[in-house]
Structure 1
Amino acid sequence: MNKFFDIYMDLRKKIEHAEFETGSLLPSEKTLSDHYKVSRETIRKALALLLEGGYIQKKQGKGSIVLDIRRFNFPVSGLTSFKELQDSQQIPNETIVIKNKLETIPEFLAEDLKVDPGREVISLIRLRKIAGEVVIMDKDYLFHDIIEQIPSEVAENSIYAYLENELGLNIAYAKKEFVVEAATREDHKLMDLKDDTHVVVVKSEVYLEDTRLFQYTESRHRLDRFRFVEFARRKHSL
Structure 2
Amino acid sequence: MKIDILSLFPAMFEGVFGESILKKAAEKGAVEYAVTDFRQFANNRHNSVDDYPYGGGAGMVLKPEPIFNAVNHLKKEAESAPRVILMCPQGERFNQKKAEELSKEEHLIFICGHYEGYDERIRDHLITDEISIGDFVLTGGELGAMVVTDSVVRLLPEVLGNDQSAVKDSYSSGLLEHPHYTRPANYEGMTVPDILLSGNHAKIDEWRMKESLRRTYTRRPDLLKEINLTDEQKRWIDEFKNTIE
Global fold match (TM > 0.5): no
More helix by percentage: 2
Higher radius of gyration, 1 or 2? 2
State the structure with bigger RCO (CA 8 A, min sep 6), 1 or 2: 2
More strand by percentage: 1
Structure-1-length-normalised TM-score: 0.26
